[in-house]
Structure 1
Amino acid sequence: MESFILAMAFSSFSRLSENLIYRLGGDKYRSFIHIYLSWSKIVGEILASQSHPVKVENGVLFVAVQNNTWMQELILIKDDIIAKYKSIYEEEIADIVFLISSPKRKCKRRK
């Protein structure tokens, strides 16, 4: 019973934080927020761990990818990504541009 209550608390917190993100982003960033929050649902956990949406500009989604191998995987399913996004949010993405991105650097602590 406790785990059920805890799960409910986290799910309502998750919805609350998601609503806050949409309110802060407004209509201008709504499509980017849609894509960013649902990226792993759209492309799957493995591809999402190797890529992330960067921006949406004039209907074009820009996605940063770890390396050429993962970029090729995403290019092969680009039409599926566009179709899946459209089926979930009923919004159009005209195209997707994939960019190679260096891995995020970890900050070193100063002593």
Structure 2
Amino acid sequence: MAFTSLSNIKKEVIDRIAGEKYKSFVNLYQHWKDIVGPLLAARSHPFHLKDSILYVAVENNSWLQELVLRKMDILKQLNDKTGEEIKDIIFLIKT
């Protein structure tokens, strides 16, 4: 009997549910905390991906500024870790 790791099962289930249309977004969303760290991840989250532009909701202006300062590093890490080709990140204050 072959065993499949829980992480592989989770990925397969998410891929099936998300489908091709949302697969890239789900991939980015899952890596967000690893890339920005727990503090920034608690105050921001990706909410939309369109035309290779990632839209990120941010709690307030202070956190938005912090993310803007780290934007190029975040963009590089997102592309490296996910294999996606994100061209830009737009940060928006959302409550």
Same fold (TM over 0.5): yes
CA distance, structure 1, for counterparts of residue 15 and residue 39 of structure 2? 26
Asked whether the 8 Å contact 1:82–1:92 carries over to 2, the reply is no
AA paired with 2:14?
I
What's 1:19 paired with? 12
CA distance, structure 2, for counterparts of residue 19 and residue 42 of structure 1? 22
CA distance, structure 2, for counterparts of residue 56 and residue 80 of structure 1? 18
Q: Structure 2: where are the runs of 5+ without partners?
A: none
- Identity across matched positions, percent: 45
Aligned residues: 91
CA distance, structure 2, for counterparts of residue 81 and residue 62 of structure 1? 13
Deviation at 1:19, TM superposition (A): 2.1
Instruction: Give the structure with higher Rg (CA).
Output: 1
CA distance, structure 2, for counterparts of residue 90 and residue 28 of structure 1? 16
Alignment of 1:15-94 (within 5 A): 15-94=8-87
Pick which of 61-70 and 80-89 moved more.
80-89
CA distance, structure 2, for counterparts of residue 46 and residue 101 of structure 1? 17
Asked whether the 8 Å contact 2:47–2:56 carries over to 1, the reply is yes
The TM-score, its normalising length taken from structure 1, stands at 0.76
Cα shift readout 1:52-81 (whole Å, capped 9, x = no counterpart): 000100111000000000000000111111
**Structure with more relative contact order (C-alpha pairs < 8 Å, separation 6 or more):** 2
Deviation at 1:89, TM superposition (A): 2.0
CA distance, structure 2, for counterparts of residue 17 and residue 90 of structure 1? 19
